[in-house]
Amino acid sequence: MYMLKGEKGVERFTEMVMEIIKSIPSGKVMSYGQIARVAGKPRGARQVVRILHAMSKKHKLPWHRVINSRGEIGIQDEELFFTQKSLLEGEGVQFKGKSTIDMEKYRYHPDCDEYL
DNA sequence: GTCATGACAACGG
DNA sequence: CCCGTTGCCATGA
């Protein structure tokens, strides 16, 4: 159970998102929308983005294992793009194109019950 | 309070 | 498959 910090759903959502991201094993990836759904907010993909970005500065989160739903790195900044790609390749993820990977092969399927 | 922004998603053409 | 539009919602100005 991850019911920390009072009754504010936002707080719990944040905690869950962080736990989920930390639970992604090396060599696997998840999409923002997928994380949002598992955390209980089907429409919260953009908040996942925000949380991830904000938290990765303070905590050590495997942010590079989070990509967009198309199975590609949708990042604009070249430096960050290269960083993420390198980290993934370093974990054994094969790229099919400049920024595309095989989602069906690398997607991580967490058990939702772990986060209730 | 409004308004713009964002490591996005889903859908239509 | 590529492109544009629309929806979403926390955060900061």
pLDDT for res A58: 78
**pLDDT tens column, A65-104:** 999 999 999 888 888 999 999 999 999 999 999 999 999 9
Residue A3 covered by a domain = no
Q: What is the pLDDT of residue A10?
A: 63
Which domain range does residue A26 map to? 9-115
Domain count along chain A: 1
Q: Is the confidence at residue A7, as pLDDT, over 50?
A: no
Residues 39-58 of A with CB under 7 A from strand C: 41, 43-47, 50
Q: At A95, phi and psi to the nearest 5?
A: -95, 135
Give a yes or no: residue A4 inside a domain: no
In a domain, residue A22? The reply is: yes
Q: What is the mean pLDDT of chain A?
A: 86
pLDDT at A28 over 90: yes
pLDDT above 90 (res A60): no
* Interaxial angle between packed helices A9-23 and A45-58, expressed in degrees from 0 to 180 and rounded to the nearest 10: 70
Q: Which nucleotide is nearest to A61 (CA to C1')?
A: B7
Exposed e or buried b per residue across A58-74, where buried means at least 16 C-beta atoms within 10 angstroms of its C-beta = eeebbbbbbbbeebbbe
How far, in Å, is the CA of A78 from the C1' of nucleotide C12?
A: 25
Strand partners, A107: A29
How many Å apart are CA A105 and CA A80, to the nearest integer? Answer: 24
Contact flag, residue A59 CB and nucleic strand B, below 7 A: no
Q: Is the CB of A112 under 7 A from strand C?
A: no
Query: Does residue A39 reach within 7 angstroms of strand B, measured from its CB?
Result: no
pLDDT value of position A24: 95
What is the reported pLDDT for A114? 54
CATH at residue A53: 1.10.10.10
Q: Which residues pair with A29 in a beta bridge?
A: A107
Distance CA A19, CA A73 (A): 22
